[in-house]
Structure 1
Amino acid sequence: MSARVEPAAQPERRQRPRNEPVAYIVTEDGEERIEWISEPRVVQTVDDLIESGARGVSSLECKGVRFSSYVHKLRRNHGITIETKRERHGGKFAGNHGRCILISKVRRAQGVS
């Protein structure tokens, strides 16, 4: 009879509870303010926009299927300035898509609660 092998212990990962707000510092016209964003996909979208820098994020590159909706929420609900440039794309379903570029200076706030 063989000895039973116990699975290796997995390290604990702290996951952000669903809809726990994340604080961002938004700077526009020399004024800083804190914006709290709680929707996970909107948080993911602003993080993608921050990471992409001047290159921006295309709706074809994003992970969320409702990318334009998340960008709209960032503009309307959080007052974040985002520019949308139109780009053409080829392929079987050729047409146009938007590339969103963060104009406001935004960064995650550290140690804010």
Structure 2
Amino acid sequence: MSGEHEMARNLLQQEPGRENRHVNAAGTPRLAHRKSKRHKSGKSYIVTPSAGEPFRIFVLGRDRWALDELRKARGKGCTPIENPAPRWSAYIFNLRELGVEIETIREPHEGYFPGSHGRYVLRSQVTPIRAGGAY
């Protein structure tokens, strides 16, 4: 590689002064942002699977919302088309990781963008735990 210009492999060598590009306003403390209280509201449930012993889970945020929507829908189930949410598949994945049985039924749909979507149906019995631990 004689005669060719060799490129620096380190960004600090490529752009001198790069290490000093991040600054804070004078007198501004560097604090991590706190999440609002609405994100901390979780709920405990007793999950009774089709086979096995009941167990307890604690769910919060959008996963809790999705579980409550599935409970309300009962055997009808929920679809992203009828009940829009940004990440239904992620909420279902997270709930399945906790041990909640959820069936995905593929359904075709028409319109400007024909294809198929999933209908999520709760197959475990899920009971919220009331305050004080009784259910």
- The AA in structure 2 aligned to 1:89 is H
Q: Which structure shows the bigger proportion of residues in strand conformation?
A: 1
Alignment of 1:39-78 (within 5 A): 40-76=61-97, 78=98
Gaps of 5+ in 2: 1-36
Alignment of 1:1-113 (within 5 A): 17-28=38-49, 29=51, 31-38=53-60, 40-76=61-97, 78-111=98-131, 112=133
CA offset digits 1:79-105 (Å, max 9, x no partner): 101000000011011110000000111
Pair member with larger Rg:
2
Aligned-residue Cα RMSD (Å) equals 1.7
Q: Aligned-pair distance for 1:30?
A: 5.4
Whole-angstrom distance in 2 between the partners of 1:74 and 1:22: 13
Q: Which is further off, 91-100 or 28-37?
A: 28-37
Whole-angstrom distance in 2 between the partners of 1:62 and 1:71: 14
Aligned length: 96
With the length of structure 2 as denominator, give the TM-score of the two structures: 0.66
Identity %: 33
Whole-angstrom distance in 1 between the partners of 2:82 and 2:128: 22
